[in-house]
A and B are shown apart, each in its own frame.
Chain A
Amino acid sequence: MVPTMLGVVLLVFLLFNWVGGDPAYILAGKMSNPEQIANIRKQLGIDEPVYVQLWIFIKQIASFDFGASWSTGEQVSRVISTRLGPSLTLLIPLTILETVIAIALALLIARVRGSLTDRAVMIACTVGMSISILVYIIVFQYWLGYKLGLFPVQGWGDSFAHNLLRYSALPILILLAVSLAPNLRLFRTFVLDEVNQDYVRTARAKGLSEGRILWVHVLRNAAIPIITHVMSNLPSLLIGAFLVERFFSIPGIGREIILAVERSDFPVIKAITVYVAFATMLFNLLTDLLYQAVDPRVKLQ
């Protein structure tokens, strides 16, 4: 894990310090003279040798201090800590709902596997997945928010309950609609991998009901790939929700990164990239630990 972390740091460093060109020119903007640029270079530390710059970057990561955002002047650590709340308000209910609904539907579909219903649902999923997420957002926001007025078109407040129940309702609904199809397809294959196993036949032979076999025996075994999928998807959900955050003006991490890319605000992008990557690695580790809890057969080395 440590070499990978160093690798991520190195990749981000190379990307923004070499490929990205001289940040001094971006910062100085159009009206720049050589003195200004030299000044900015000194401030950013890019007149130092490469290894010193890398060391500065590592120190920044370790101390959570990336300095100020280039475009708003806000401290980057503050940007991240204030944007995390709204994103999580959106994502935690979404993940729970999405997982529970997809598992329930997958088990229901597995019961009628091979039937016309099964095929029809799978085709509907394929078609649903081929429509861009943008279209879901645009149409739902227009139709449910603007036309029917069931939800606020956009906005975000200060009270948590208000945000959760009022402002995140429609975004969560949209993301549910979008993520249900791929998850259902995936979870269905996980469940179908299990239903032909010997233990299922045994359970059936000893007279258990089909419902109990699926919901107790099969589910516990199918839980392993499902947990892997859900857990490894969590950090990318943080970014995956960026479109919704942008459309609904929710001040979360995803919207922040889009704004940062639009403004070439390198410190913010660097910080978010590095920390989300670290979170991903941490979550992968947690997943391994969770395996043990779910499946005693799994032994960690």
Chain B
Amino acid sequence: MFSSSSHFSPGLWTLAWRRLRADRVAMAALVVLLLFVAMLTASMSGWLANDWADEVGVNYAPPSFIGAQADAGSGGEAEPAAAEEPPENPLDPLKDVIRELRMEMGEANVTASAGESVGSEDSYGIADPLQAELAEIRGVQSSAAMHPASARKVTLPFGADKWGHDIIKKTIKGAETSIVVGLVAALVATVLGTLFGALAGYFGGRTDDFFNWFYSIFTSIPYLLLILAVAAVLQQKGVTTIILILGLTGWTGVFRLVRAEYMKHKEREYVLAAGAIGGSHLGRMFIHIFPNISHVALVQMSILAVGFIKSEVILSFLGFGVPVGMVSWGSMLNEAQNELILGKWWQLTAATGAMAVLVTAFSLFTDALRDALDPKLK
């Protein structure tokens, strides 16, 4: 009776794992993915990049391998140019007015320099209605520029953004957001798709018609349009909202495949036998059939995760994704778009590079996983 246990026959997962182990590309991709997971765990538990919001470098500090730039000096006050550059100075709401006044001064006397103090402007006898505000703003500006700037680094390993945040820490924090959104949304979509597919495929008939109708509705609206429509309706922003948007709209592919599998499996002997010994419908669906089709769901989930990571980046870029104050690769790209015109390319490169490595590894791994789980498919 126990003789069968002496010849051990490997199961689906063992066989798949063996095939996967033999695939060098898949193993390399897996190592990269594990590194990302380790980074994710570290940053979520607060060991890594928890202080990404600290302004450790000077504004737009370049990467160390380029060296400090001439115009990225330490002091803010000594540079008249810094006060004139519009996007850099969020502290100064009156800068247009001030500049206009200065232009008038310039016409009166060419030697009046833009960077001089308030006092010199007064000496020309033109009344400055904003003098008090100007002085106050100057004070705030110089104190803000002087004190932290002395402690800020001129260069950082991979540079800094507009506010002097370390790009590496930002990229790690952005990876956290993107990966968590991608994986959780893929899980939501897979669970929904599997549930619907199981019900439709197993029961058939009216139930199948209903879910097929539901499926045809969702597939006839282009995916991105559906995402945008749901984003328009869900007003509050946040990670949960993006996960809901992606999860609720992305289940259709899983549904189609899982439904086909259930239709195939429900007539098999083992399911009929389970029914004969009194297994309930739910039991047959999820205890007996599901383990036999779970590889389909797993591969689909992996494909979805890759797609969702990309979608999250686009949503966050457009401002429909993560809220202000959270960093994601999409919001980094959004900032980088303006920085590029100023010649600050490092944030763009960091976000693009991190994303490309993750997505490439993930897609290669998904392909290998699919081949390993279903060798006939090749």
> Which positions in A face B, CB cutoff 8 Å?
3-4, 7-8, 10-12, 15-16, 19-21, 126-127, 129-135, 138-139, 142, 146, 235-236, 238-240, 242-243, 246, 257-258, 260-262, 264, 266, 269, 272-273, 276-277, 280-281, 284
Is there an interface contact between B213 and A132, defined as CB atoms closer than 8 Å?
no
Interface membership of B280, Cβ < 8 A: no
> Which positions in B face A, CB cutoff 8 Å?
213-214, 216-218, 220-226, 228-235, 310, 313-314, 317-320, 329-330, 333, 336-337, 340-341, 348, 352, 355-356, 358-360, 362-364
Is there an interface contact between A277 and B340, defined as CB atoms closer than 8 Å?
no
- Majority DSSP secondary structure for residues of A touching B: helix
Q: Closest approach, in angstroms, between the C-beta of A56 and any C-beta of chain B?
A: 19
Q: Which residue of A lies closest to B214 (CB)?
A: A7
CA–CA, A280 and B224, complex, Å: 13
- Majority DSSP secondary structure for residues of B touching A: helix
Q: Answer whether A130 and B340 are a contact pair too, CB < 8 Å, given A236-B225, A262-B319.
A: no
Q: Closest approach, in angstroms, between the C-beta of A51 and any C-beta of chain B?
A: 20
Q: Known pairs A7-B213, A269-B229; list 9 more (Cβ under 8 Å).
A: A3-B213, A7-B217, A132-B313, A134-B333, A240-B224, A276-B222, A276-B225, A277-B220, A280-B221
Choose among B220, B222, B330, B355 the residue that contacts A4 (Cβ–Cβ < 8 A): B220
The interface residues of chain A lying within 8 Å CB-to-CB of B330 are 134
CA–CA, A264 and B229, complex, Å: 10
Is there an interface contact between B224 and A8, defined as CB atoms closer than 8 Å?
no
Is there an interface contact between A127 and B223, defined as CB atoms closer than 8 Å?
no
Q: Which residue of A lies closest to B226 (CB)?
A: A273
Is there an interface contact between A146 and B341, defined as CB atoms closer than 8 Å?
yes
Is there an interface contact between A261 and B213, defined as CB atoms closer than 8 Å?
no
Is there an interface contact between B220 and A280, defined as CB atoms closer than 8 Å?
yes
Is there an interface contact between A272 and B337, defined as CB atoms closer than 8 Å?
no
Q: Closest approach, in angstroms, between the C-beta of A7 and any C-beta of chain B?
A: 4
Q: Answer whether A236 and B223 are a contact pair too, CB < 8 Å, given A135-B333, A142-B340, A258-B228.
A: yes
Q: Which residue of B lies closest to A122 (CB)?
A: B367
The interface residues of chain B lying within 8 Å CB-to-CB of A239 are 222, 224-225, 228
Choose among B233, B340, B359 the residue that contacts A15 (Cβ–Cβ < 8 A): B233
The interface residues of chain B lying within 8 Å CB-to-CB of A243 are 314
The interface residues of chain B lying within 8 Å CB-to-CB of A264 are 232, 235
Q: Closest approach, in angstroms, between the C-beta of A254 and any C-beta of chain B?
A: 9
The interface residues of chain B lying within 8 Å CB-to-CB of A139 are 340, 348
The interface residues of chain B lying within 8 Å CB-to-CB of A21 are 235
Q: Which residue of A lies closest to B362 (CB)?
A: A130
Q: List 25 A-B contacts (CB under 8 A).
A: A4-B216, A4-B220, A7-B216, A11-B217, A19-B233, A20-B233, A20-B235, A126-B363, A130-B355, A130-B358, A132-B310, A134-B317, A135-B352, A138-B337, A236-B222, A236-B223, A236-B225, A239-B222, A260-B232, A262-B319, A264-B232, A269-B228, A272-B225, A276-B222, A281-B220
CA–CA, A238 and B235, complex, Å: 25
Q: Answer whether A261 and B231 are a contact pair too, CB < 8 Å, given A135-B352, A138-B333, A138-B336.
A: yes
The interface residues of chain A lying within 8 Å CB-to-CB of B214 are 7
Q: Closest approach, in angstroms, between the C-beta of A114 and any C-beta of chain B?
A: 13
Q: Answer whether A273 and B363 are a contact pair too, CB < 8 Å, given A8-B221, A132-B310, A236-B224.
A: no
Q: Answer whether A130 and B318 are a contact pair too, CB < 8 Å, given A15-B229, A239-B224, A261-B228.
A: no
The interface residues of chain B lying within 8 Å CB-to-CB of A280 are 220-222
Q: Which residue of B lies closest to A270 (CB)?
A: B229
Q: Closest approach, in angstroms, between the C-beta of A132 and any C-beta of chain B?
A: 5
Q: Closest approach, in angstroms, between the C-beta of A231 and any C-beta of chain B?
A: 13
CA–CA, A20 and B310, complex, Å: 26
Q: Closest approach, in angstroms, between the C-beta of A194 and any C-beta of chain B?
A: 16
CA–CA, A281 and B219, complex, Å: 9
In the A-B complex, the 7 residue pairs with the closest CB atoms? A130-B359, A236-B222, A7-B217, A20-B233, A261-B232, A130-B360, A277-B221
Q: Which residue of B lies closest to A261 (CB)?
A: B232
CA–CA, A281 and B217, complex, Å: 10
Q: Which residue of B lies closest to A260 (CB)?
A: B232
The interface residues of chain B lying within 8 Å CB-to-CB of A130 are 355-356, 358-360, 362-363
Is there an interface contact between A4 and B232, defined as CB atoms closer than 8 Å?
no
Q: Closest approach, in angstroms, between the C-beta of A127 and any C-beta of chain B?
A: 5
Q: Answer whether A266 and B314 are a contact pair too, CB < 8 Å, given A138-B340, A239-B225.
A: no
